[in-house]
Structure 1
Amino acid sequence: MTERAISIFLVEPKQENFGSVLAVLDKAGLPATLIPIQDQFGFMRELQAGLPDVVLVCYQEKSFGDFDCLGLHKKLAPQIPAIVIAPGFGEEWAVEMMRGGVSDIVLQQKLYKLPAAITRAMAESFHRRQQQQKEQSLQLSQQHLLDLFKMTPVGVFRCDSEKNCFYVNDRFCELIGLSPEEAFGPGWIKALHPEDREFILREWYEKKGVVEETKAIYRYQKPVSGETIWVLGQSKSELDSEGNVTGYLGSVTNITRLKIVEEALKEKNNYLTKVNKELDNFVYSASHNLRAPLTSLMGLINLLRLETGKPLELHQICSMMENSLLRLDGFIRDIIDHSRNSRLFIQSVEVDVKALIAEVLEEFSLADNYNRICIDVNVQQEVPMFTDPARLRIIIRNLISNAIRYQNNTLLPQISITAQITGQESIFQVCDNGIGIRQQHHERVFDMFYRADEHRSGSGLGLYITREVIDKMGGKIELTSQPAKGTTVKIVLPNQQAGKAADSYNTETRTGWLPD
């Protein structure tokens, strides 16, 4: 049942069938509004008032020639279905009516078929209008797409299922140096760079009629000028409603500038890598070459001390020389530590924590006032510790060095070194009762060359290198300190598993340098 009454023009000079038509439609449950039309003027008048859903024409041979409503219908409202009611007709006449735009013919003596004819004609008319709208929409979309292709800054091409080119936009022709006619079919191939042609043709033509998305970087060389450009070529399959490949749509983007920048960056990177390696070698070599004469001078100073009968002043001068050399030696050691931490892979092997701490303390045994320092070492170890021994040594050495250097001369120096080793992590703490660090310096003590106390010796690299090493090892560092009360530094390092440690160690022994 329709939602509204169907509007029907009933064209009949004497309206003899008005009642019959209305009764048939009513019996069929097809609500309709019949608008009687007796001549062509009435037809045009009603048509101007509003279009009907259907036009019914009662054909009467003698009177129909006086006004050809069918002709008016075809001219003014061809989209409205027209049905002819006739007392009888021959085949030729029926064909002529259908060619003239009539949707259906119903015999007058079989008027009961009229409701079905009207319903069918309206459905066909609706379907036809929808199809026309789709075609118009498709044509509009295609036109918009072509307009977009003309405006886009990239080259656009289309190919059939055999990958023969049948469309290119102006930008595509500009990029490859060919006219559209020259680029059609396989013509675009002649613009491929000779060194890239084999690769592109193999990749492009090996898969025909296959659903795919492709992307490649290659070169075109314009046939006339010889100009070479780098492009990013992309394509995607076009499919019909059943999923079959009907063609390919693709784009070509000029990336020549990007390639030039990329090559320049690659050259700069290679240059910087070379310079960095040379600088690292220089630091390493220079550090060792500087330490050699320093070691000799320290030996000579010890010999001078053994000489008897020398004035006290000579001994003091030797001590001053020794202190200066020790500071220089410490600075060079810091440079070496920083260089090694920056360039070497993490080495992970089993470490004897107690022995390592003892070795580091032994390095400071000749320091001034070392014997008066109360040092407590407490190592609690549940499982073996796997870590980088060289880096752990740097951490412990720098923390102990600071604890010794920044003693509080008014108190008996105390240094507490604790270590707690578990299967997951290792926690180290170095505590002292030294001069401490003021709160405003806490955030900056880990900066390079920053010194919280300018009156004490030191390079300003110790805590900076310590933090860099800990970050490299995937650990954390925390510092708490109060002036005149002392400083506590807490280190948390991951305890590597034995299997991972072996792999890391093998990597370390294969190459001593970080990958570029």
Structure 2
Amino acid sequence: MTINYLEGLSLAGLEGEDMFHSIVEKSNDIILITDDEYVIKYINGSVRRKLGTRPEEALGKSLFEFINPEKQNSLRDFVNRRDNSKESKLTEICLLAKKGGTLYFDVTISNLLKNEEVGGLVITLHDITDRKIAEEKLRKANNELDQFIYKTSHDLRAPLLSALGLVELARQDPEKEKHDYLGMIRKSLLKLDHFIEDINSFYRNEKLAIRNERIDFEEIIKEELDQLTNFYNADHVAVTYNINRISDLYSDSVRVKTILTNVISNAFKYSDKGKQESYLKINIQVTPDECNIKVEDNGIGIRQQYLNYIFDIFYRADENAKGSGLGLYIVKDTVDKLGGQIRVQSEYGKGTSFTISIPNFLNTEVHARAFSLN
């Protein structure tokens, strides 16, 4: 069947149909011929390499059986609009690979139905998946940059303007009032400092190479708890932590600290002051392969409808939410950079738990794989 459809298709300067057939079969493009009902009469071996489908599996089937359902109608409209000339036309479709995943193709259709030697539609599918992925990354980066510039300019100016206004009031009011104003100014400037630190964390995670060093959890946790407890006046939160390891963890200390700082500060920030006993539990388990961190609190929790959005950049569940809106985005981005995973469970009014898994770079091969992801 293949030879019948390729007979007579020759190129100037090439001798014999075997050479032409070899070129078609070795092409990186999927090349196929259908009749006027789009039933596949010939398809080259690239379909196996790209989609995992053997050519013989596709013969005699409709082209539309392999098209993503969302794209079928648009492709039908495209091919139905063709005229009777031999002129090629171009569109874009996506196909589902046999082992899962979607690939994107530019499609060229040449109408050779009236050609006695071909008698069909010659369709070429050119793989543009890498280009589509790059375009999506660029689109995401541009969108985040737009948000980042807007939010940064707004959130940097707000505490500065607040502090400046308080300074002016303090200059005009009696001496006994000045202490109160100084406290409010300090609060505004601390808010500004935390936002700038969020920006620094964001930059470090995006730009700095992943380091491989021994992680001292005791030192990191004690330092962070001292700072965060004082900042949030969180003496009402009972904090316990447990570190269980059968191996040292080797990872990037700056990024591990960034993860812990943001998740722990979230627990303090959203603790439920209406509860008689507030708690924060930190459990860490380290094996030669990975590290699992669970941070659990009985704070105010997160409403179910917001859980899918909490890792979006600058997302806040409500207008009264505290912080820059960068914290959990940075956590997710940092975990991704380390090749790990993060999961969240929460019930509004009862509390929240974050479970984070990151690979242990104790094995140099694991570290090399993490580098290859970035």
Normalised by the length of structure 1, the TM-score is 0.40
Displacement after TM superposition at 1:388 (Å): 1.2
Larger relative contact order, structure 1 or 2 (CA cutoff 8 Å, min sep 6) = 2
Give 2:186's aligned residue.
322
- State the secondary structure of the residue aligned to 1:311: helix
Written as runs of structure 1 = structure 2, the 5 A alignment for 1:186-201 is none
Give 1:18's aligned residue.
none
Conserved 8 A contact 1:436-1:485: yes
User: Hey, which bits of structure 1, 4+ residues long, moved more than 6 A?
Assistant: 501-505
Residues 1:502 and 1:466: Cα distance change in structure 2 (over 3 Å): closer
Q: Which amino acid aligns with 1:157?
A: G
- State the secondary structure of the residue aligned to 1:370: coil
Displacement after TM superposition at 1:158 (Å): 4.1
Residues 1:368 and 1:353: Cα distance change in structure 2 (over 3 Å): closer
Q: Partners in 1 of 2:230 and 2:7 — Cα distance? A: 85
Q: Is the aligned partner of 1:466 residue 2:331?
A: yes
Q: Partners in 1 of 2:315 and 2:293 — Cα distance? A: 24
Q: Is the aligned partner of 1:338 residue 2:194?
A: no
Q: Partners in 2 of 1:419 and 1:395 — Cα distance? A: 13
Residues 1:451 and 1:158: Cα distance change in structure 2 (over 3 Å): closer
Provide the identity percentage. 35
Give 2:113's aligned residue.
none
What is the CA deviation profile of residues 165-189 of structure 1, one whole-angstrom value per residue up to 9, with x for unaligned ones? xxxxxxxxxxxxxxxxxxxxxxxxx
Q: Is the aligned partner of 1:497 residue 2:353?
A: no
- State the secondary structure of the residue aligned to 2:214: strand
Conserved 8 A contact 2:360-2:366: no
Q: Partners in 2 of 1:409 and 1:354 — Cα distance? A: 27
Give 2:270's aligned residue.
406
Residues 1:480 and 1:496: Cα distance change in structure 2 (over 3 Å): same
Q: Partners in 1 of 2:366 and 2:219 — Cα distance? A: 20
Residues 1:365 and 1:435: Cα distance change in structure 2 (over 3 Å): closer
Give 1:455's aligned residue.
320
Written as runs of structure 1 = structure 2, the 5 A alignment for 1:161-310 is 310=175
Residues 1:157 and 1:459: Cα distance change in structure 2 (over 3 Å): same
Displacement after TM superposition at 1:393 (Å): 0.8
Residues 1:145 and 1:322: Cα distance change in structure 2 (over 3 Å): same
Displacement after TM superposition at 1:366 (Å): 2.5
Displacement after TM superposition at 1:500 (Å): 4.3
Q: Which amino acid aligns with 2:280?
A: I
- State the secondary structure of the residue aligned to 1:364: helix
Displacement after TM superposition at 1:365 (Å): 3.8
Give 2:345's aligned residue.
480
Give 2:283's aligned residue.
418
Give 2:214's aligned residue.
350
Q: Partners in 1 of 2:213 and 2:367 — Cα distance? A: 7
What is the CA deviation profile of residues 67-123 of structure 1, one whole-angstrom value per residue up to 9, with x for unaligned ones? xxxxxxxxxxxxxxxxxxxxxxxxxxxxxxxxxxxxxxxxxxxxxxxxxxxxxxxxx
Residues 1:442 and 1:159: Cα distance change in structure 2 (over 3 Å): closer
Displacement after TM superposition at 1:442 (Å): 1.1
Q: Partners in 1 of 2:357 and 2:301 — Cα distance? A: 22
Q: Partners in 2 of 1:158 and 1:422 — Cα distance? A: 62
Q: Partners in 1 of 2:361 and 2:176 — Cα distance? A: 57
Q: Is the aligned partner of 1:438 residue 2:294?
A: no
Q: Which amino acid aligns with 1:413?
A: S
Q: Is the aligned partner of 1:428 residue 2:284?
A: no
Q: Partners in 1 of 2:270 and 2:322 — Cα distance? A: 9
Residues 1:418 and 1:158: Cα distance change in structure 2 (over 3 Å): closer
Displacement after TM superposition at 1:488 (Å): 0.9
Q: Partners in 2 of 1:475 and 1:334 — Cα distance? A: 21
Residues 1:477 and 1:159: Cα distance change in structure 2 (over 3 Å): closer
Gapped runs of 5+ residues in structure 2? 17-21, 27-130
Give 1:54's aligned residue.
none
Conserved 8 A contact 2:232-2:268: no
Q: Which amino acid aligns with 2:192?
A: L
Displacement after TM superposition at 1:316 (Å): 2.4
Aligned match of 2:226 in 362, 384, 397? 362
Q: Partners in 2 of 1:487 and 1:357 — Cα distance? A: 19
Which of these two proteins has the greater Rg computed from alpha carbons?
1
Conserved 8 A contact 2:284-2:293: yes
Conserved 8 A contact 1:431-1:487: yes
Give 1:387's aligned residue.
251
Q: Partners in 2 of 1:504 and 1:323 — Cα distance? A: 43
Normalised by the length of structure 2, the TM-score is 0.53
Give 2:55's aligned residue.
none
Query: Aligned Cα RMSD in Å?
Result: 4.2
Q: Partners in 2 of 1:339 and 1:368 — Cα distance? A: 25
Give 1:250's aligned residue.
none
Q: Partners in 2 of 1:502 and 1:455 — Cα distance? A: 41
Give 1:156's aligned residue.
12
Displacement after TM superposition at 1:372 (Å): 2.8
Give the number of equivalent residue pairs.
238
Gapped runs of 5+ residues in structure 1? 1-140, 150-154, 161-211, 216-264, 509-513
Displacement after TM superposition at 1:351 (Å): 0.7
Displacement after TM superposition at 1:487 (Å): 0.9
What is the CA deviation profile of residues 238-297 of structure 1, one whole-angstrom value per residue up to 9, with x for unaligned ones? xxxxxxxxxxxxxxxxxxxxxxxxxxx9xxx9xx9xxx9xx9xxx9xx99xx9xxx8xx9
Residues 1:366 and 1:157: Cα distance change in structure 2 (over 3 Å): same
Q: Which amino acid aligns with 1:440?
A: Q
Give 2:107's aligned residue.
none
Conserved 8 A contact 2:298-2:351: yes
Displacement after TM superposition at 1:503 (Å): 6.8
Residues 1:392 and 1:156: Cα distance change in structure 2 (over 3 Å): same
Q: Partners in 2 of 1:156 and 1:369 — Cα distance? A: 82
Displacement after TM superposition at 1:145 (Å): 6.2
Give 1:127's aligned residue.
none
Conserved 8 A contact 1:349-1:502: no
Conserved 8 A contact 2:344-2:353: yes
